[in-house]
Amino acid sequence: FTEMPTDNFVESSFWNFDALFQPQQHPARDQHDTFFLQDPAEAPELPAGYTAKVKKVHSQGGYGSQGYKYEWRLEEARRNLLRTHTTSASARALYRLARQEKFSPVKYFSIDRVFRNESLDATHLAEFHQVEGVVADRGLTLGHLMGILRQFFTKLGTGGTLGGRGTPQGPPLTPLLSPGITQLRFKPAYNPYTEPSMEVFSYHKGLKKWVEVGNSGIFRP
């Protein structure tokens, strides 16, 4: 996997939401969940041709989709924010890939900071890190996605052995430290930009239940 550049905390709504088919009326774009910027408030530059395509797919549909059929506004897409997920960097990377002369299959990853406008408590911070991976190739299937995820979580587990075993009251992060996360189940989920989507669950021996360890999906065409 090749690392993607993610060195921009400030992102425009366009890359963070619109290019990812998240409708402008979606609750995640609310004041309550996203940090919008006062200064600089708007992104001065958006890719012209691509913006027109995004507008069309949201409002009328395209590429085989019915679209959302609402009025898509450019001002809304220009609004700057602190990115809520590193998927915006993935979107940029895929855009660059699409503009290449010749398509080459890629595997990208990134681990970086994201920001969500939440009240702080024992399990929630306003800033946290996300691990993200993207694979682009011809003929990929849901089975492939599940296979990669299984390999990823297995390797994640065998790394550290810092006392994850047998503590019944550990915080939900301890599965990552216990030797090998091999018990995985996949559950259908919903993301605005992936379809099919899956939530990945792993069995936490300490808490004796299945906890969600990740989210994934195949990007919508």
Partner 1 sequence: DEEFNELCFEFGLELDEVTSEKDIISKEKGEEKAKGASDTVLYKIDVPANRYDLLCLEGLVRGLQVFKERINLPRYEKIIPAQGEGQRLIITEETVQVRPHAVAAVLRNITFTKERYDSFIDLQEKLHQNICRRRALVAIGTHDLDTISGPFTFTAKAPSEIKFKPLNQSQEYTASQIMDLYRTDSHLRHYLHLIENKPLYPLIYDSNGVVLSMPPIINGDHSKISINTRNVFIECTGTDITKAKIVLDIIVTMFSEYCEKPFSVEAAEVVYPNGKTHIYPELTYRKEKVKPELINKKIGISETPSSLAKLLTRMCLKSHVTGNGNNIEIEIPPTRADIIHACDIVEDAAIAYGYNNIQMTIPKTYTIANQLPLNKLTELLRLDLAAAGFTEALTFALCSQEDIADKLGMDICATKAVRIANPKTAEFQVARTTLLPGLLKTIAANRKMPLPLKLFEISDIVVKDPDTDVGARNYRHFCAVYYNKSPGFEIIHGLLDRVMQLLEVPPNEENGYTIKATEG
Best CA proximity match to 219, nearest among 191, 200, 199: 191
Q: Which stretch binds partner 1 (CB under 8 A): 95-103, 119-127, 155-163, 170-178?
A: 119-127
Best CA proximity match to 20, nearest among 88, 71, 99: 88
Q: With binding defined as CB under 8 A, does residue 49 bind partner 1?
A: no
Q: Which stretch binds partner 1 (CB under 8 A): 1-9, 95-103, 159-167, 172-180?
A: 1-9
Preceding peptide of 188 cis, ω within 30°: no
Distance CA 187, CA 197 (A): 8
Distance CA 206, CA 170 (A): 7
Q: With binding defined as CB under 8 A, does residue 77 bind partner 1?
A: no
Q: How crowded is residue 10: how many other Cβ atoms within 10 Å of its Cβ? A: 13
Sign of the C-alpha dihedral computed for residues 93, 94, 95 and 96 taken in this order: positive
Which of 53, 73, 96, 187 forms a contact with partner 1 (CB under 8 A)? 187
Q: Minimum distance from CB of 144 to partner 1 (Å)?
A: 4
Which of 55, 97, 117, 205 forms a contact with partner 1 (CB under 8 A)? 117
Q: Minimum distance from CB of 105 to partner 1 (Å)?
A: 4
Q: Minimum distance from CB of 167 to partner 1 (Å)?
A: 24
Q: With binding defined as CB under 8 A, does residue 56 bind partner 1?
A: no
Is the CB of 60 or the CB of 158 nearer to partner 1?
A: 60
Per the listing, tokens 């085989």 go with 64
Q: Minimum distance from CB of 165 to partner 1 (Å)?
A: 26
Q: With binding defined as CB under 8 A, does residue 182 bind partner 1?
A: no
Of 20-39, binders to partner 1 (CB under 8 A) are: 25, 27, 31, 35-39
Distance CA 147, CA 71 (A): 39
Site string for partner 1, 3-22 (x = CB under 8 A): xxx-xxxxxx----------
Q: Minimum distance from CB of 93 to partner 1 (Å)?
A: 11
Q: With binding defined as CB under 8 A, does residue 121 bind partner 1?
A: no
Nearest-5° Cα angle at 5, 13 to 174: 90
Tell me phi and psi for residue 133, to 5 degrees: -135, 140
Which of 17, 68, 72, 153 forms a contact with partner 1 (CB under 8 A)? 68
Q: With binding defined as CB under 8 A, does residue 126 bind partner 1?
A: yes
Q: With binding defined as CB under 8 A, does residue 167 bind partner 1?
A: no
Listed in sequence order, the residues at least 6 apart from 54 whose beta carbon sits closer than 8 Å to its beta carbon are 14, 18, 19, 72, 77
Distance CA 2, CA 104 (A): 13
